[in-house]
Amino acid sequence: MKSKATSTPRIAGETKTTGSRLLKRIWQHKIFYLFMLPGIVWFFLFSYVPLYGVQVAFRDYTFVGGFTGSPWAGFKYFQQFFNYYQSGDIIRNTVVISLMKLLIGFPMPIILALLLNEVRQLRFKKTVQTLSYLPYFVSWIVVVTLMQRLLTPYGGPVNDLLGSFGTGPIQFLNNPGWFYQIIVGSDIWKNIGWNSIIFMAAISGIDQQLYEAAKIDGAGRFKQMWHVTLPGIRTVAIILFILAVGNLMSAGYEQLLLLNGPATASMGSVLDVHAINSGIREGRLSYAAAVGLFQSVIGLILVLTVNRIARKVGDVSLF
Amino acid sequence: MKRNWSKSAAALLVSVMLGGALAGCTGSPGENAASDGKLKILHNWNGSTGADAITPVEEVIKDKTGVTLEWEYTKGSETEKVNQIFATQDLPDIYTGPAWGGELDGIIKAAKEGQLVDISDKLKDYPNLAKSVAEENVPPALYEKAIGGIDGKKYLLLQNQPATNEDGMDWLYGFYVRKDIADKLGVDPQSVVTKDDFYNFLTKVKDADLQENGQPVFPLGGFSNGWAVGIGNTMFYPGASYMDKGDGTFEHSFFTKGYEEYTLFYRKLIEEGLMDPETFTQTDPIAKEKINQGRIAVLAAHYPAILDASKEYTTAHPGSDYIPIGPLERAGVEASRPVDLGIQGNNVTAITKECQGACVDDALKFLDYMASDEGFMLARYGVEGTHWKMEGGKPVADAEWFKKFNEDSTMKVRKNEGISIGLESLTGLDRINSAAGGDIWAEPARTEAMESARKILRPNGIEVISAYNPGDVITKAPEWEMLKPSMDRMNDAWEEAIFAKSDDAAMKIINDLRTQLTNTGYDKAMEFTNNELKGKEVVTVQMPN
């Protein structure tokens, strides 16, 4: 009787009924929604509210006019960016570094999660996990200072060790020959543990019966990993990959600001640092906003494109 | 009932959380309209610090002016700080900071956009302030650009412009070598005069393969972010940012042959391992650690910084003091010419729109008091009768405080008394010698070292520059907004060029930026500048200071 009533077409009351049902369901699961509330508030305040500031990219920002009262400037600042003599180099550097981080850095947490999953010694597993998470919580300024101390050719322990093997010293930092290795390597070291958490969670959600079935079929440890574990985390991996592609125009502000020097400027000048320097150091807030908006728009296009490809090819997508 | 209470409590908590977060994002200007006698001062100098609590000096200020001071100090770039405070509207009541560069440009922009208090009509009531901004007491281009008025209104005060030539501080910038190393190599530092001598001397240091604690000694080094290894520029062009083209017009030195030679010379130093390659990326603690480990043979900076940084090492290793090299040759200048120094005020001070009504009067009263002779000596020497006293018409330091201050290398004791906390940036014209009898806290050994270096580096004395600086004039050109970002890149481009793989690659970096400068209106801006400077005396020779 109840289901019949709801299935009857009711144009005017439909929305109201659906809305009430939604509210009712939210109320039923209020504890879960309460858990979500801080996250929603955070996103609203720091991701959606600031969106109104995007208009600064199209205005001649003045202190007195602010975000909404400054005169309109059209695409003036976008033109300035594309006419800037280094804009091509900066975009190229950003894409190259981001692609390297994506292609080399993305599989690393998956590999770590797979390896950890195979460890049977629980204490060892926990120790490795904890140690691999720690760097994520250390700020880049500390990481870079540590790197400067460890890698300097003038008394740094790494070069001392190399010296004991009869090689070196090597100038690792501010050296174009080692720049990409240092950038990608330090990024992986810092994030691998943290990024592996979600894959560990996905692995733990795989039905154990699948492993047992695979064993009965004669699969060894490697084949179980290949045929059960990897397909089991495929969906999560694709979703994370789509999100990571959205950051392709953002190579990492803090890391590049600190690790890039005059010797590596031709490889390490990236959009994030250019935007921050223009805005904060030079006071060109509208220009910086234009560069930032350009990054975001490209990021959005990339996410939409990869999402569509993923949906067609792998039947997995964000939306 | 219980459910209702918990619902209400949850709703209240959420409201408070959201309300608090949103309130944190807002701010209303002019909050300090009804003054409570408290003034918040931003001392916009990177690394400056204050006292742990209100100091005896500040107590005197409170007695004399009724004002209680609250300090904020900058950690990081001063230019970024200027842009940040106006963009976020997190304003102090009084701003004081560098009287040049991007910091001054930011303050001028703020004045034009209604962020500062117009003090034109009030100056007549504050004679010490009026004197510090009188046309005859301000460098001409700076007066026209900022101090004399912005869009017809006066917003800015200039601080520490030398009242007389004897008050001008010569920081004795130069290259200084460790005496023990020069002795070991058998080189008289005063025999190093030409750029070739300098290069050969650095090569000799490198070839000696000196070690300290198992680490190599760098022939040439500096402090953080490359300060001030680049001061060898005066061996290649006359040092000023703009040069006379020979026809009475001027061009930026970045476009000259001398600048190219200067760049390639430094590239050679890097390539041949004669200069510490980390000098442009290192932090100040790392730079000072190298100096304290005895790993820098030749240091480039001003002498007080070198004396401070090397104190620990030279105390532990007598005879290893840094002594001046040269004087080195100066390009395009007669050997007998006195050293041209740009000694001018170092702070511009302004009252922001945060301070309104009675607060403005409080701020002006406080600033006028600090600019008086009494305020000047209070800021520099401390409280009369406690830290110092007048004897025979001259200030004399209290012996006990003198000992305490000089034994404290952290400056904390001095700061907790109220000296060197930023008040010295607010004292009007600099008259340390002409009216205040000289620095009473200076260590005799340090004064002696400075005098000794002065005799070597300034054989013909100094000439304080009073001419127009084209750098101040070009900012008024209509093309400046487009040109400025390219001009701001000159130093970065130079640093990138000296690390380039080849001379050709270095020149490509320089030439690419030259093209960009031209494309963004350099020629027209210079045409404007040259027209403005017609018939005026212009700075074309300058040594670092």
Distance CA A113, CA A198 (A): 9
pLDDT the model gives residue B409: 77
Question: Could you count the other beta carbons within 10 Å of the beta carbon of residue A155?
Answer: 16
Q: At A318, is the pLDDT very low, low, confident or very high (cuts 50, 70, 90)? A: confident
pLDDT the model gives residue B32: 60
pTM over 0.90: no
Which two tokens mark B449? 């070292």
Q: Are the C-beta atoms of B209 and B287 separated by less than 8 Å?
A: no
pLDDT the model gives residue B398: 97
Q: What is the DSSP code (8-state) at residue A112?
A: H
Cβ distance B214 to A155 less than 8 Å, yes or no, reads yes
- Containing A40, the helix (H) or strand (E) segment is helix A30-43
List the beta strands (DSSP E) in B191-321.
211-212, 215-216, 218-221, 242-244, 250-252, 296-302
pLDDT the model gives residue A112: 97
pLDDT the model gives residue B35: 57
Distance CA B179, CA B183 (A): 6
Which two tokens mark B50? 């204050």
Distance CA B97, CA B103 (A): 7
Q: At A319, is the pLDDT very low, low, confident or very high (cuts 50, 70, 90)? A: confident
Name the residue type at position B189: P
Q: Are the C-beta atoms of B50 and B421 separated by less than 8 Å?
A: yes
Distance CA B36, CA B57 (A): 20
pLDDT the model gives residue B214: 84
Name the residue type at position B56: P
In the three-class reduction of DSSP (H, G, I as helix; E, B as strand; rest coil), residue B341 is classed as: strand
Task: Kindly report the average pLDDT of chain A as a whole number.
Answer: 91
Angle between helices A30-43 and A11-28 in degrees, nearest 10: 100
Cα end-to-end distance, chain A, whole Å: 35
pLDDT along chain B (545 residues), means of 10: 48 43 44 73 95 97 97 93 94 97 93 97 97 94 93 97 89 97 98 98 97 92 95 97 94 98 98 95 90 96 95 94 97 93 92 96 98 97 97 95 90 96 97 92 92 96 90 93 94 97 98 98 98 95 94
If we measure between CA atoms, which residue out of B169, B314, B289 comes closest to residue B224?
B289
**pLDDT (tens digit per residue) in B388-413:** 999 999 999 999 999 999 888 789 99
ipTM confidence: 0.85
A279 touches B: beta carbon within 8 Å: yes
Cβ distance A279 to B83 less than 8 Å, yes or no, reads yes
Residue A45 in this model has a pLDDT that exceeds 50: yes
Distance CA A269, CA A252 (A): 11
Q: Are the C-beta atoms of B121 and B71 separated by less than 8 Å?
A: no
User: Exposed, middle or buried by CB within 10 Å (0-12, 13-18, 19+), for B242?
Assistant: buried
Cβ distance B215 to A155 less than 8 Å, yes or no, reads yes
Q: At A15, is the pLDDT very low, low, confident or very high (cuts 50, 70, 90)? A: low
Q: What is the phi-psi region of residue B242: left when phi exceeds 0, alpha when psi lies from -120 to 50, beta otherwise?
A: beta
Cβ distance A281 to B77 less than 8 Å, yes or no, reads yes
Chain A residues lying within 8 Å of B25, measured CB to CB: 45, 49
Which residues 2-31 of chain B have a CB within 8 Å of chain A?
A: 14, 17-18, 21-22, 25
Name the residue type at position B132: S
**pLDDT (tens digit per residue) in A244-261:** 999 999 998 999 999 999
User: Exposed, middle or buried by CB within 10 Å (0-12, 13-18, 19+), for B268?
Assistant: middle
Which two tokens mark A43? 């996103």
A32 touches B: beta carbon within 8 Å: no
Measured between CA atoms, the residue of chain B closest to residue A153 is B215
Chain A residues lying within 8 Å of B352, measured CB to CB: none
Cβ distance A41 to B82 less than 8 Å, yes or no, reads no
Q: C-alpha distances in angstroms, B366 versus A288, B135, B157, B361, B376?
A: 38, 22, 13, 8, 12
In the three-class reduction of DSSP (H, G, I as helix; E, B as strand; rest coil), residue B451 is classed as: helix
Q: Which of A45, A63, A155 sits opposite B110 (nearest CB)?
A: A63
In the three-class reduction of DSSP (H, G, I as helix; E, B as strand; rest coil), residue B22 is classed as: helix
pLDDT the model gives residue B537: 93
Please give, rounded to a whole number of angstroms, the shortest distance from the CA of B364 to a CA of chain A.
Answer: 24
pLDDT the model gives residue A4: 41
In the three-class reduction of DSSP (H, G, I as helix; E, B as strand; rest coil), residue B159 is classed as: strand
